[in-house]
């Protein structure tokens, strides 16, 4: 897969210098709470997580860089910080979960494979369905020009707002609403990524993609199992690939 190049956003492996883009710098230098329970150096623990992701096949320097910068332990309850850099999903309240780092990385790397990203060299506007605690939105902010993230549970929308406030990400807009309707005002999108799995892909998502754009979403198959689905919008219609099995919380309609 060709990786889009972002000037000023060095591969994490090449240098530990602060990234030059404003938004990514905000993530890297935002005032952080003491990483309770993580010892003195959460950066080292995070780098080990990134090394494991690279060893497991994630190749995009942008994605690895973003996972290396965003402090996942700030997005989970204090009782869970010791597990923040393990490759595991964790509860975030209201029966929802923050996705595994490997799944976050995999899905964002798939977004980077969109035709419009490969031809332009950068990830433009992204819509995330299911903000949850805001972790993936923060990761996306490092790799995309603009991120819109929508959550249907008010409690989690507020939680994400609180989590992201200190990071002062200028390119993330959090929305409270039913993501099954998409967010036409922010589109059309180079990529749409869903953190919740339904039985059908809402038509609004397909409508709101640019030609050359890509949707990455878990979807429930006829077997009842979820699989990762990639849909590309081409000048001639949509192409679809079903990838590996995944386990996401259900996509639900309406707000609560």
Q: Which two tokens stand for residue 84?
A: 């923040």
Q: Rule CB under 6 A: is residue 97 a binding residue for ligand SAH?
A: yes
Among 85, 135, 148, 183, binds ligand SAH (CB under 6 A): 135
Annotated active-site residue in 89, 99, 141, 194? 99
Interface pattern 189-218 for ligand SAH (x via CB under 6 A): ------xx----------------------
Alpha-carbon separation of residue 145 from 21, 124, 138 (angstroms): 10, 5, 12
Q: Which stretch binds ligand SAH (CB under 6 A): 47-55, 106-114, 125-133, 184-192?
A: 125-133
Q: Does 98 bind ligand SAH (CB under 6 A)?
A: yes
The CA R_g of the chain, rounded to the nearest whole Å, is: 17
Among 111, 150, 172, 229, binds ligand SAH (CB under 6 A): 150
54 binds ligand SAH (CB under 6 A): no
Shortest Cβ 137–ligand SAH spacing (Å)? 7
* Residue 102 bears catalytic tag: no
Compute the distance between CA of residue 211 and CA of residue 131 in angstroms, rounded to an integer. 25
Preceding amide of 77 cis, omega within 30? no
Supply the minimum distance, in Å, between the C-beta of residue 191 and ligand SAH. 14
Residues forming the site for ligand SAH (CB under 6 A): 92, 96-99, 129-130, 132-133, 135-136, 150-153, 156, 178-180, 195-196, 249, 251-253
């Amino acid at each position: 897969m060709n990786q889009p190049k972002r000037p000023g956003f060095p591969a994490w492996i090449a240098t530990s210098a602060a990234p030059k883009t404003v938004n990514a710098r905000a993530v890297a230098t935002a005032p952080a709470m003491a990483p309770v329970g993580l010892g003195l150096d959460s950066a080292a623990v995070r780098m080990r997580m990134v090394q494991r992701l690279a060893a497991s096949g994630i190749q995009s320097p942008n994605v690895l860089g973003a996972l290396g910068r965003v402090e996942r332990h700030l997005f989970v309850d204090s009782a869970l910080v010791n597990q923040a850099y393990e490759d595991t999903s964790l509860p975030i309240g209201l029966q929802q979960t923050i996705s595994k780092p490997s799944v976050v990385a995999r899905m964002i790397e798939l977004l980077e494979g969109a035709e419009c990203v490969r031809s332009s060299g950068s990830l433009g506007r992204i819509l995330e369905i299911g903000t949850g605690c805001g972790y993936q939105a923060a990761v996306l902010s490092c790799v995309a020009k603009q991120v819109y993230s929508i959550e249907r549970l008010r409690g989690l929308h507020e939680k994400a707002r609180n989590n992201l406030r200190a990071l002062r990400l200028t390119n993330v807009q959090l929305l409270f609403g039913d993501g099954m309707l998409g967010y036409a005002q922010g589109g059309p999108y180079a990529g749409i990524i869903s953190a919740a799995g339904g039985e059908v892909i809402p038509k609004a998502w397909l409508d709101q993609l640019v030609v050359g754009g890509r949707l990455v979403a878990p979807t429930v198959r006829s077997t009842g199992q979820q699989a990762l689905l990639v849909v590309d919008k081409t000048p001639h219609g949509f192409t679809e690939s079903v990838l590996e099995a995944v386990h996401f919380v259900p996509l639900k309609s309406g707000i609560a």
